[in-house]
Amino acid sequence: MTPAPLRVAVLGAGTVGREVARALVERAGELSAAAGVPLELVRIAVRDLARARDRGIPTALLTDAPAHLVAADDTHVIVELMGGDEPAHTLIAAALGAGKAVVTANKHVIAHHGPSLEAAARRTGAALRFEAAVGGGIPVLGPLAAELAANRVTAVCGIVNGTTNYILTAMADEGRDYDDVLAAAQAAGYAEADPSGDVEGHDAANKLVILARLAFGVWLDPSDIVLSDDAGPGHGRPGISGVTAADVAAAAAAGATIKLVAEARRGPDGRISARVVPVALPAETALARTAGVLNRIEVEAEPVGTVAFSGPGAGGAATSSAV
Ligand code: NAP
Ligand code: HSE
């Protein structure tokens, strides 16, 4: 006998949400939870119903009342893909409080409210999963939590923002203008609703908080992460906002490539230092060669040594696979 389905509500049908919804509808037979329990997409919440219909989402699946989906007796799993702080935070907290499993790609909410959400999940026994919040389609949190668990991590370091890497790559390879490339990254669905979060390093800092939680077992405060470096190619401005075409060209002439590098490192005293700053890396290194929307995360750990994860760091289709 087929077990009763897990009823899934998706909050948000934008770049990621509509790909998740599409997968749940078109590949329902392939996608199942543990022990072969089928997944059933019951509803999708959006703000603008007409826009969602224009994007091809069946009217019968749509609602503009996400809180009702969270409260409904017949939803078991809440997939939050709205983004931003509120109402996403309150909806996730309510779902966990009601004992419902939550899957989210929302790095802002996890980085800023992780400790209380984790406590709520523990209290009710609900699962809270956020693999898609870091590295788009790259499986990295799962391996950190499980397969690498016997190691003592000393550092996590890498490129964790697709938008800024796409911009820096296009500036370096094609000599394109910053604003023009940012517009292309937005059109491709890589950038956040407010792209200043990408460009100024906050999105990468949120991801670094999450990586540090899995790597070191501590929640860093996002506001403690260093976002600028007077001595680096960002000229003391946050993220890549201070990097100019002339900086990119000068780095190339010197055999280097500018990348926005996120790094959290455990010092000899056990304290974790964390920064997200642009760095001119030797062009032949794997991080420097990580191009376009790709991300790469390197984990330094004992006794394994260095392990690296790379792949598509943003975009609806890739991210939907991690969700
Ligand atoms: P998006 O394209 O802006 O889509 C957001 C969706 O949420 C839209 O359908 C929007 O509805 C809906 N929404 C927003 N606020 C709402 C509200 N108050 N009530 C009901 N619906 C609401 O965002 P996205 O790019 O898919 O990103 C979603 C999440 O995934 C974010 O947390 C983002 O950081 C994360 N993420 C994105 C990527 C990526 O490559 N895009 C990769 C990894 C993680 P309307 O369209 O009606 O406004
Ligand atoms: N805006 C994010 C990025 C989306 O460009 O990396 C993926 O988290």
Report DSSP letters for 65-118, one per residue.
Answer: -HHHHHH-TT--EEEE---SSTTHHHHHHHHHHTT-EEEE--HHHHHHHHHHHH
Return the biggest CA–CA distance within the chain: 66
What is residue 3's predicted lDDT score, i.e. its pLDDT?
A: 84
What is the distance between the alpha carbons of residues 68 and 79, in angstroms, rounded to a whole number? 14
Q: How are beta strands 152-159 and 256-266 bridged, if at all? A: antiparallel
For ligand 2, mutation pick of 169, 203, 261, 321 (most atoms within 8 Å of CB): 203
Return the residue whose CA atom lies nearest to atom 15 of ligand 1: 82
How far is the C-alpha of 162 from the C-alpha of 92, rounded, in Å? 25
124: its two tokens: 């009710």
Q: Is 100 a catalytic residue?
A: no
Please count the other Cβ atoms lying within 10 Å of the Cβ belonging to residue 244.
14
Looking at residue 152, its pLDDT comes to: 97
Report the nearest atom of ligand 2 relative to the CA of 207: 8
Which residue has the CA at smallest separation from atom 4 of ligand 2?
314
pLDDT tens digits along 222-237: 999 999 999 999 999 9
9: left (phi over 0), alpha (psi -120 to 50) or beta: beta
- Which residue has the CA at smallest separation from atom 7 of ligand 2? 314
Q: Which atom of ligand 2 is nearest to the CA of 132?
A: 8
DSSP type of residue 159: E
Tokens of 304: 């394994």
**134-166 residue pLDDT tens:** 999 999 999 999 999 999 999 999 999 999 999
What's residue 176's pLDDT? Answer: 86
Q: Give the pLDDT confidence score for residue 177 in this predicted structure.
A: 79
Vertex 322: Cα angle to 31 and 19 (nearest 5): 70
Q: Ligand 1 pocket: which of 64, 82, 91, 323 to mutate (most atoms <8 Å of CB)?
A: 82
The residue nearest atom 28 of ligand 1, judged by CA position, is 81
Tokens at 65, concatenated: 């009342």
Token pair 């996400």 is found at 66
Cβ count near 283 (within 10 Å): 14
Ligand 2 pocket, residue 14 CB under 6 Å: no
Integer-rounded Cα Rg, in Å, for the chain is 20
What distance in Å separates the CA atoms of residue 68 and residue 61, rounded to the nearest whole number?
Answer: 13
Q: What is the pLDDT of residue 138?
A: 98
CA of 77 to the centre of ligand 2 (A): 24
What does each C-alpha distance from 57 to 18, 24, 192 come to in angstroms? 8, 12, 22
pLDDT at 1: 72
**C-alpha span between 53 and 266 (Å, rounded):** 49
Q: Best of 160, 169, 192 to mutate for ligand 2, by most ligand atoms within 8 A of CB? A: 192
Nearest Cα neighbor of 44 from 17, 59, 62, 27 is 62
What does DSSP say about strands 77-80 and 62-63: parallel, antiparallel, or unpaired? unpaired
Kindly give the distance from the C-alpha atom of residue 15 to the centroid of ligand 1, in angstroms, as a whole number.
7
pLDDT of residue 33: 80
Low-confidence ranges of the chain (pLDDT < 70): none
Q: What whole-number distance in Å separates Cα of residue 223 and Cα of residue 309?
A: 26
